[in-house]
Amino acid sequence: MSRRTSPVIPGFGLTLGYTLVYLSLLVLIPLGAMFVHAAQLTWDQFWAIVSSPRVLAALKLSFGTAFLAAIINGVIGTLLAWVLVRYTFPGRKIIEAMIDLPFALPTAVAGIALTALYAPNGLIGQFATTLGFKIAYTPLGITLALTFVTLPFVVRTLQPVLADIPREVEEAAACLGAKPLQVARHVLLPALLPAWLTGFALAFARGVGEYGSVIFIAGNMPMKTEILPLLIMVQLDQYNYAGATAIGVLMLVVSFILLLLINLLQRRISRS
């Protein structure tokens, strides 16, 4: 007669209830309150706020720089993950710790450090000024800050997947006559692409909502270097709660649509 093994955690009903309550308190209720507050506006008022040139410029800047930073980290993060997984060398642990630094470092500190480094009179910014362009207080500086804070998402997502790919698979493909580029395209890329999309989505989502590391290096010039999170803060400082919630709803809807498309693409690739 077999004995029934007790589960490690309580049953499905209790754990599901706890999960729903936890998500409701942290996510659903605050987001629902934002939609309820925004619903106090008429459609014409809402559209007038979200379609204003200042909001559209901030929307384009926030999502554009976040997307560009995620793409850059998609390339650099893949190379870093590959080196850390496939090679053993002196200083490897130091590089591992440096990759995790954006997780531990307060984003405001990162923003101040990047601004001091890339400002026109900074250690690196002064050479850029000599060459005739600026890094800080431009979209380039915002992209640089977002690249810094979102790098760990791609690297840490790809590392376990790379570690699970046996080297024998690559060696077998090489023995069958495949060139290195063919091995990367037909053997490694299909296995890495779902994880790469996950890391890209995480980096993109973090970049869209980033505030602390960007506010110092952006310069915060309306229509030029003003990001959406800062614009929301400006509306709150002016006690324009309706405008702030309308911009927040716009940001939430656009982010949700983009992340949904990325997840659908990831699921389709995983099934193929």
Q: pLDDT tens digits for 69-114?
A: 999 999 999 999 999 988 888 988 899 888 988 888 888 888 899 9
pLDDT by 10s per residue, the chain, length 272:
445 555 666 667 778 888 888 888 888 888 888 888 888 888 999 999 999 999 999 999 999 999 999 999 999 999 999 999 888 889 888 998 889 888 888 888 888 999 999 998 888 988 888 888 889 999 999 999 999 999 999 999 999 988 888 777 777 777 777 777 777 777 788 888 888 998 999 899 899 989 988 998 988 888 999 999 999 998 988 888 888 999 999 988 888 888 888 888 878 877 76
pTM for the whole structure: 0.86
**Nearest-angstrom CA–CA distance, 147 and 36:** 34
CB atoms within 10 A of CB 236: 13
| Contact of 251 with 54, CB cutoff 8 Å | no
| Contact of 178 with 172, CB cutoff 8 Å | no
